[in-house]
Structure 1
Amino acid sequence: MMRVLVVDDEPLARDGVRARLAAQPDVSCVGEAGDGDAAAQAVQALRPDLVFMDVQMPGPSGIEVLRRLPPSVRPLAVLLTAYDHFAVAAFELQALDYLLKPIDDSRFQESLDRARAALRHRSQPGVDTAATPWVERFSVRIGQRIAVIDASDIDWIEAQDDYAGLHVGSRVYLLRESLHQLSLRLDPRRFVRIHRSTIVRVDRIAEMEALSNRDCLLRLRDGTPLRASRTYIDPLHAALAAR
């Protein structure tokens, strides 16, 4: 059972997070707090696995509360805010995710799934509890050979039925894994989902063009055009702000 603490100075916002958590059979909401000082006390007393932490609130900010905790006892954190300019601090703290208000249901579910994956990683014997589970390389079968692909070489990734297509320059390598499961294993500081079927490496983005329906057209450094869905625009802006 994943133990979750909800921190937000707005009661309605806390209610919204709690309602979403109540629909998760493997999640227990162990407490809540409405300001920075109460949040710090609750984290120390309850030792949650995961905290949904508002950034701006009375007393110490959510970011300051997390900074004061030693990494060895700091819970996994999903930061909540109405502004994307806190993204840099979020990534410095290795926050698990960064949700902009109003919270999108599909993004909320992705955050929980990422927390589940991180907790499974931490529970493995001999694993440093402060370590992150982000994958650094992939083994991909090509005929009778196995190719090893470094995550740092990937430009973007697309869903291809039951596979994920890893685009490395002009080559595409098929990895037998769903895009959703793969997204949970990629470092969110380097890779961001921009569509249900597309993940892009942030430092490969050269330019963005806003479209009339709040979608965006991205162009990568090699000229590749990719469409970013409006559902993922806010996390995309947050990831770019953290570069």
Structure 2
Amino acid sequence: MTKLRTIIVDDEPLALNLLRAKLNKIPEIEIIAECKNGREAIEATMALAPDLLFLDIQMPGIDGFGVIKKLQSDIVPLVVFTTAFEQYALDAFDVHAVDYILKPIDDERIQRAIQRALVRCESDEDTLNKSRIISAIDSINERKNPESAATQSMSLPKLNTDKVERKIVIKDRDDITLLKQTDIEWVDAAGDYVCVHAQGVTHIKRCTLKNLLEDLDSEMFKRVHRSTIVNLNYIQKVIPHTKGEFFLKLGEYDQVKVSRNYREVIKSFLTDM
């Protein structure tokens, strides 16, 4: 029998206790950690590599969506959101095959979500999980702001002058942010989107990693994984991992895994320092 190694996350103790009690009755579930906030969820997921994450959306600090944005695509497990969101938002999750349970938690919905997770686990579709979730988030934002789709299609002229610091344009609903490249710590791909991590904030940009790389300073940014690039200036520590891989500590909380195929990039950088 397949057992899903599971982490449960909720900032409300009663909700966490209720979820634990219900999941303990299900033989396919093995709870390996419980987290009270988004920060703990990120650390536990990085350390334990669970198969499944029961994740509350609405939490103080880093919410459920923020947890997903902060994790590299290949590290994101299967996710079941627990939420009190409106039905129109939940429809977006269904379209993108993201599981959810509407609070108050119902036994039937838990069973449904676990069965969907088991099917996806056996079909090895979990590598698409982050891109599906990001697509769902984007769809929700567009439903809340119909004009955002038009905003996404806008383009700004590039300024070709050495006197202007290189920046990345981030469009979010009706807002347009000009993000300094020197402030970007790392970027990871999620399908047709990229998550740009800068100064503790994660920005979602609708473009491919390949297209973004063309705009980034090649001396400053290096690919360290098939879906991840880092700003070399933010590397604070190199932590050995298994099978020739290792982690880069980029800030107080962020860690990025370097795959074996790209380890020479970091070794060369360390040698040149």
For the pair shown, which has the larger CA radius of gyration, 1 or 2? 2
Taking structure 2 as the reference length, the TM-score comes to 0.43
Structure showing the higher helix proportion among its residues: 2
Q: Which has the higher contact order (CA 8 A, sep 6+)?
A: 1
TM-score (norm 1): 0.48
